[in-house]
Structure 1
Amino acid sequence: MRDRILDAVERMLVAGGADAVRLDAVAAEAGVSKGGLLHHFGSKRALIEGVLGRLVDRFEAVLPPPGSPPGAFTRAWLEATIPVDDVPARDRFDQVSVALLAGMSGGPEVLGALRRCYELWQRRIADDGLDPATTTLVRLAVDGWWLARLLDLAPPRDDLHREVRARLSELIPGGD
């Protein structure tokens, strides 16, 4: 039931932002009673924290462990976040958009949790066995891309999308 509720919150965040996430609406979207919802998540903030936590866990699952070959973490960061081909940012499966919406809309505590994750990830990027300025540049470029996709701020499309992604990939030695 917990995953069904979080799936519903993800859909609602993507479709309508944090304002769409109301306990009654989440219960209806998930097909559960309000009591069942409250058993797992006592507040809107808890729902958003749950979405963010689950997305962070999924993201961490595709990242290589410390001690991996040089560049492996930076390459995995790019691979896990920017698709090879251009797809609509509002697609339900665009986990980046959902995570950003959750982090930005969940209040200072949720944003603080996202910031702590980023501090750890930045340390891993900087210690990835490559030039830290280059690996950080890749991370920042990916993060900027996320924001452009999320807010539809003229993100690269089609061939340009593929070319920009390929150029970022070229910055990471030992890969494509």
Structure 2
Amino acid sequence: MLRERVLDATVRLILAKGTDAVRLEDVASEAGVSKGGLLHHFRSKQALIEGVLRRQIAIFEAVLPPSNSPPGSFTKAWLDAAIPLTEPRRGDPSDQVAVALLCAISGGSETLDVLREHYEQWQERLVTDGLEPATATLVRFAVDGWWTSRILGLAPPTGELYQRLRQDIADLVEPA
């Protein structure tokens, strides 16, 4: 329970200020715990960031279908979990993907390796999802590019363009 409060507080701070601004003292204060209580569960900022990443991965994987699902199910779930049907606002629950990516990028090579390992597994699931492997990978690249654009503020699509692009990606997943 305390561990989850600390992770929740860290996610809120990451969404508000980014990972560079996250300090253990701030996390402890946001979580309503002592710094010693936080350090009992996470011995360093690195361990805390990796803990957030691992939890975000678990949340993401919880919405992905089992491997015996109908063709295209995994690719569609990948899209739906990462790019909502309606344009999200800052702090929207869909920003959880952004939290995971920010943690992986800022946590150093060991933390990034955690995400890389999962990406290898997810890519394998995508190419064996029953769609043309190149199409499933194209959907992944579109999703990854969308998040990179959103995280870095590189002119992410908005309004009608957001809707059109989201639909175009979804159309790749739908059987002809």
Say whether the fold is shared (TM-score over 0.5): yes
Give the 3 Å change call, closer, same or farther, for CA 11–63 of structure 1 in structure 2: same
TM-score normalised by length of structure 2:
0.95
What SS class does the counterpart of residue 171 from structure 1 fall into? helix
Q: CA RMSD for the aligned pairs?
A: 1.3
Q: Report runs of 4+ in structure 1 exceeding 3 Å deviation.
A: none
Per the alignment, residue 86 of structure 2 pairs with 85
Map of 1:7 onto structure 2: 8
TM-fit CA distance, 1:92:
5.1
Q: Quote the Cα distance in structure 2 between the aligned partners of 1:78 and 1:92.
A: 16
Letter in 2 for 1:162: Q
Following superposition of structure 1 onto structure 2, how do residues 4-153 of structure 1 map, counting pairs within 5 Å? 4-88=5-89, 90-91=90-91, 93=93, 94-153=95-154
Query: Are 1:5 and 1:26, in contact at CA under 8 Å, matched by a contact in 2?
Result: yes
Distance 1:138 1:154 in 2: 20
CA shift, 1:86, in A, is 1.0
Deviates more, 1:165-174 or 1:102-111: 165-174
C-alpha distance in 2, partners of 1:51/1:9? 7
Deviation track 1:105-127 (CA, whole Å, cap 9, x = no partner) reads: 00110000011111100000011
Q: Distance in 1 between matches of 2:119 and 2:41?
A: 27
Distance apart, 1:173 and its partner CA: 2.4
Q: Scaled by the length of structure 1, what TM-score is found?
A: 0.95
SS in 2 for 1:129: coil
Going from structure 1 to structure 2, the CA distance change for 1:92 and 1:21 (only over 3 Å counts) comes to: farther
Show structure 1 runs of 5+ residues with no match.
Answer: none
Displacement of 1:174:
4.0
Letter in 2 for 1:139: R
